[in-house]
Structure 1
Amino acid sequence: MKYQKHIFVCTNERPPGTRPCCGNDHGLALVAAFKKEIKDRQLDFPVRAQKAGCLDICELGPSVVVYPDGIFYGKVQLSDIQEIVNEHIVNNRPVKRLQLDFPQNNILPDSF
């Protein structure tokens, strides 16, 4: 089964005192909220949301990536779900205020 849009939400968990992690910061709640929004809008065949392991942008999490577009979102909150689904998933317009723009070589600067 091929999906038109595939939403991966980081749910990685780490022990306290290490790098931040999305799983400890409502990652699972985001997965549930995306699934509910997709189902409520009857988009559940062409669109899928699911858990993902570490997306390696922990300091910018909770993080989400939408494929096949390869658009990464950071600092995603439950209140952002409807906007992401409506703007990006339904209307193909990424949510610029949440979108993470990586350098051309895809390596994060040391400041992250």
Structure 2
Amino acid sequence: MPRLPTDPALYFDAHFFVCTNRRPDGHPRGSCAGSGSEKLRDYAKARAKELGIRGLRVNGAACLDRCELGPTMVIYPEGIWYHARTAEDIDEILITHLQGGGRVERLMLQPDQKSL
């Protein structure tokens, strides 16, 4: 949905939501927290600050409903979904997408994707 001329100014330029939902061990869908997403969220917060990325809010999110692909994350306003497993993956997303305005295609999730 496009912004309207009467909308207030944005408070943040981008939101980086990292799913931190935890399901019981052995759940058939898995869980992002069970795959290490809480550490990735914490790393993303600290690293974004180190990189000096302004106008960004890194948040933990409850279930983003893509558990099988976890850890999952989504960046708004673009609505680009990513799968990341390592600090290096997070660095690449922060530097390429959020600093450089590009995309990390190897980590992107497609809307109809059901598995990695």
TM range (shorter): 0.7 to 0.9
Structure 1 unaligned spans of 5+: none
Question: TM-score by structure 1 length?
Answer: 0.86
Structure 2 unaligned spans of 5+: 1-9
- 2:81 maps to 1:69: no
Give 1:40's match in structure 2, choosing from 50, 72, 87: 50
Alpha-carbon deviation of 1:94?
A: 1.3
Say which one has the larger Rg.
Answer: 2
Q: CA RMSD in A?
A: 1.7
User: Between the two proteins, what is the percent identity of the paired residues?
Assistant: 38
**Following TM superposition, where does structure 1 have runs of at least 4 consecutive aligned residues deviating by more than 6 angstroms?**
none
Q: Distance in 2 between matches of 1:88 and 1:79?
A: 14
Residue-pair matches, total: 106
Higher helix fraction: Structure 1 or Structure 2? 2
Question: TM-score by structure 2 length?
Answer: 0.83
Paired residue type of 2:77:
P
**How big is each residue's C-alpha offset from its partner over 1:50-89, in whole Å with a ceiling of 9 and x where there is no partner?**
1001111111100010000100002432221111011000
